[in-house]
């Protein structure tokens, strides 16, 4: 596969970047997220993390169901601060 | 797994990784780090990453100043960019009594060579242009404070320690410690048993759990700190690191542009790292009070982690008389990342030379019993 293909659109990471992190010895999605920022953008990993999970599964010779997902945290989609607080902004 | 090591460090956060690095650098390369998940999983990967020298006690000022001096050279020394920036650190006073306390603190800090100063509300506004200063009596500011990336700092220490021969066992949880009289016989883990001449408890909020394994009570209470993350904003939209400790928490814009809105630490049961709507809505309300033009900024995530508090908010860096070779380095009370580099250096000196380059008496384990 073309290693220049974009995996994480928010943080502009390619398949090569992900493979490089895996080759450094990072074995979980959470670690790859922390070291590359993959999944830290506005989409919060909805596009990229399943792709990274598949890549990790392949590299570790495991089934994708054995790769633990990252912790889900609120909000589920970007929300304006004022929507949450209800405070009037000046 | 290995049979044993001269030094076994429990915890691969910034404290444990830093100890491993400085020990290896001092020439003690028979070092093992046991980490239940992976470096940055615990407090180090979830903190607000402020680095400040503005303290009210001499010992905390000295520790933080020592840490800043180390932070300055770390990216080069560890050959890994930890994104350290001395962008300054503003501490807002929200009452005249606080401001008076800051004046005394600044005098102490200046006497120790820390270039902090008191600033007027107008000067604070020049530092943070979107700050609302109505009702703020003033603030303290130190231009040589700043931030670094805590995730990269922990990985950098771990990576450099490994390159010098230290061994890291990740996904390896310590489940028990077997004693023979007052000596440690074995450290039991989920991946087998091992022996260590010196065992360092660098487990942060979990330090009391490790303490109980050797029959000692470590007065550390975990508190949860929740952080809200905004979408990336333009450079310097919301810098430098600013805190209003008693009323709010802090905000900081990371190297990558996201602004982190940090809630003050609150006691929590059962090491719960969940997020609560109460904290999120409190923090967004308060942010609207302190910062103009922030209402339209999108929040993309929140996360939370645990800080580790001692009764006097001063860390424990101390051997324990009851158990030979058992050393505690924990209890940084919300400042473990800031103190991480100097902590590792001092503990490595204590282990390798029997004495450290800063006095460690204030951090004695037995001070709580007096």
CATH number of the structural domain spanning residue A19: 1.10.10.1100
Q: Quick one: pLDDT at residue A90?
A: 41
Paired tokens of B12: 């691969």
Output the CA torsion B184→B188→B189→B194 (10° steps): 60
Tell whether A80 lies on the interface with B, counting CB pairs under 8 A: yes
A75 occurs within a structural domain: yes
Provide the terminal-to-terminal Cα distance of chain A, rounded to the nearest Å: 51
Closest CA in chain B for residue A37: B256
The closest CB to that of B295, out of A71, A78, A81, belongs to A81
SS3 at position B49 = coil
Q: Are B271 and B206 in contact (CB under 8 A)?
A: yes
Task: Provide the H-helix boundaries in B179-231.
Answer: 207-213
* B236: CB partners within 8 A, 6+ apart: B253
- The residue segments making up the domain with residue A36 are 6-85
Instruction: Say if CB B29 and CB B18 are below 8 A apart.
Output: no
The answer to whether B298 contacts A34, with C-beta atoms less than 8 Å apart, is no
Contact residues on chain A for B298, CB-CB shorter than 8 A: 42, 78-81
Is A50 inside a domain boundary? yes
The predicted pLDDT at position B246 comes to: 64
Instruction: State whether A34 and B45 contact (CB < 8 Å).
Output: yes
Other beta carbons within 10 Å of B274? 10
Instruction: Tell me whether residue B337 is exposed, middle or buried, using C-beta atoms within 10 angstroms of its C-beta: 0 to 12, 13 to 18, 19 or more.
Output: buried
Question: DSSP E strands: which ranges in B19-105?
Answer: 31-34, 50-51, 89-93
B164 token code pair: 């010098």
pLDDT for res A89: 44
Mean pLDDT by 10 residues, chain B (370 residues): 91 98 95 97 95 96 97 98 98 95 98 98 96 94 98 97 97 97 96 96 98 97 95 94 84 95 90 90 87 92 95 96 97 96 98 96 93
Output the pLDDT for position A86. Answer: 66
Note whether B187 and B174 are within 8 A (CB): yes
Query: What integer pLDDT is reported at residue B1 of this predicted model?
Result: 74
Q: Which of A66, A2, A1 is nearest to A28 (CA)?
A: A66
The full set of domain ranges for chain B reads 4-47+151-219+312-369, 89-143, 221-309
Number of structural domains (chain A) is: 1
How many A/B residue pairs have CB atoms within 8 Å? 89
**pTM score over 0.80:** yes
> Can you list the residues of chain A whose pLDDT is less than 50?
87-90
Q: Which two tokens stand for residue B25?
A: 């650098």
Largest interatomic CA distance in chain A = 55
Q: Is residue A72 part of a domain?
A: yes
Between CA B356 and CA B62 the distance in angstroms is 13
Interface contact A35-B281, CB threshold 8 A: no
Instruction: For B221-309, give the CATH class.
Output: alpha beta
CATH 1.20.1560.10 fits B4-47+151-219+312-369, yes or no: no
| A51 is a domain residue | yes
């Amino acid at each position: 596969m073309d290693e220049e293909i974009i995996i994480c659109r928010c943080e502009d990471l390619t398949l090569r970047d992900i493979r490089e992190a895996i080759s450094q010895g990072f074995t979980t999605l959470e670690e790859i997220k922390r070291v590359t920022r993959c999944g830290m953008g506005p989409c919060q990993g909805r596009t990229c993390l399943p792709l990274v999970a598949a890549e990790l599964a392949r590299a570790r010779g495991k089934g994708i169901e054995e790769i633990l997902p990252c912790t889900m945290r609120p909000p589920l989609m970007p929300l304006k601060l004022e929507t949450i607080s209800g405070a009037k902004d000046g | 797994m290995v049979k044993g090591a001269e030094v076994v460090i429990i915890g691969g956060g910034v404290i444990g990784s830093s100890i491993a690095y400085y020990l290896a650098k001092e020439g003690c390369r028979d070092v093992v780090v046991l980490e239940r998940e992976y470096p940055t999983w615990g407090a180090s990967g979830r903190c607000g990453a402020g680095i400040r020298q503005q303290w009210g006690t001499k010992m905390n000022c000295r520790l933080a100043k020592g840490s800043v001096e180390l932070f300055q050279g770390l990216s080069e020394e560890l050959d890994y960019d930890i994104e350290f920036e001395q962008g300054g650190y503003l501490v807002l006073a929200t009452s005249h009594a606080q401001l008076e306390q800051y004046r005394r603190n600044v005098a102490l800090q200046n006497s120790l060579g820390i270039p902090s100063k008191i600033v007027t509300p107008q000067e604070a506004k020049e530092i943070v242009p979107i700050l609302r200063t109505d009702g703020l009596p003033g603030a303290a500011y130190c231009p040589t404070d700043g931030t670094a990336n805590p995730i990269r700092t922990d990985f950098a220490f771990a990576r450099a320690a490994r390159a010098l021969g230290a061994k890291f066992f990740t996904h390896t949880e310590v489940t028990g410690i077997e004693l023979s009289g007052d000596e440690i016989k074995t450290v039991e883990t989920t991946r087998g048993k091992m022996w260590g001449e010196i065992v360092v408890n660098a487990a942060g909020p979990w330090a009391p759990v490790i303490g109980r394994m050797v029959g000692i009570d470590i007065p550390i209470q975990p508190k949860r700190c929740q952080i809200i993350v905004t979408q990336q904003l333009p450079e310097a939209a919301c810098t430098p690191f600013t805190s209003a400790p008693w009323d709010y928490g802090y905000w900081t814009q990371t190297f990558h542009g996201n602004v982190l809105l940090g809630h003050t630490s609150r006691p929590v049961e059962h090491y719960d790292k969940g997020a609560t709507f109460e904290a999120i809505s409190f923090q967004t309300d308060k942010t609207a009070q302190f910062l103009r033009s922030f209402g339209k900024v999108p929040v993309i995530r929140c996360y939370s982690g645990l800080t580790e508090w001692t009764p006097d908010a001063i860390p424990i860096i101390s051997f324990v008389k009851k158990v030979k070779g058992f050393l505690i380095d924990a209890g940084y009370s919300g400042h473990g990342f800031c103190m991480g580099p100097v902590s590792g250096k001092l503990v490595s000196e204590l282990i390798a030379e029997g004495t450290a380059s800063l006095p460690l008496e204030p951090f004695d384990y037995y001070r709580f019993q007096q």
